Homo-oligomer: A and B are copies of this chain.
Amino acid sequence: MTDELKMPKLHWEDFQPGAVAIYGPRLVTREEIVAFAAEFDPQPMHLDEVAASATLLGGLAASGWHTCCLLMRIIADGFVLDANSMGAPGVEEARWLRPLRPGTSIRVRATVLDKRASDSRPELGFVKFRYEVLDEQDAVLTVMVSPMMVARREPGAPR
């Protein structure tokens, strides 16, 4: 492969507030819901249909952490691995609004909320995203807001 065929990587300058994109889909199976729960969040509502039916969730559903991790994987394949991502300092909020049931095919809607250059590091900027995990009917299962650090194409250039 020649250099000309390589995709140019996305920089901080390439993200525009208001931009929206949808990534996925990914089918979420009962098997992976239970396997994740057994490893990280072994509460009854994530492990067993009978126990889950007696809980607030009303039936087996993925751990909220599992939903966040699936979101991460979907956006990684969607755009993060094509961007000069330098990681994230954290999460501003995550809301688990509706249960993620086995057999659901999810997508992630990513919206650029805003962006700013770093005051202390001229080589990077922050891009704040709102991510929504959607089911097949576009119902929002989870909302997560997180800033991403992205390398600038022109470090320290005027904003």
Interface residues of A (CB under 8 A from B): 39-43, 45, 55-57, 63-65, 68-70, 72-73, 76, 80-81, 85-96, 124, 149
Contacts and interface: CB of A to CB of B under 8 A. Distances in A.
Nearest to A121: B56
B41 A81 contact: no
A94 B4 CA distance: 40
Contacts of A70: 40
A69 B38 CA distance: 11
A75 to B, nearest CB: 10
A100 B31 CA distance: 29
Contacts of A94: 90-91, 94
A113 to B, nearest CB: 16
A121 to B, nearest CB: 9
Given A56-B87, A68-B68, A91-B93, 10 more contacts: A40-B72, A41-B76, A43-B76, A45-B87, A55-B87, A65-B72, A90-B94, A90-B96, A91-B91, A91-B94
A78 to B, nearest CB: 12
A124 B56 CA distance: 10
20 contacts: A40-B69, A40-B72, A41-B69, A41-B72, A41-B73, A42-B73, A42-B76, A43-B76, A43-B81, A45-B87, A56-B86, A56-B87, A56-B149, A65-B65, A65-B72, A68-B68, A90-B94, A90-B95, A91-B91, A94-B94
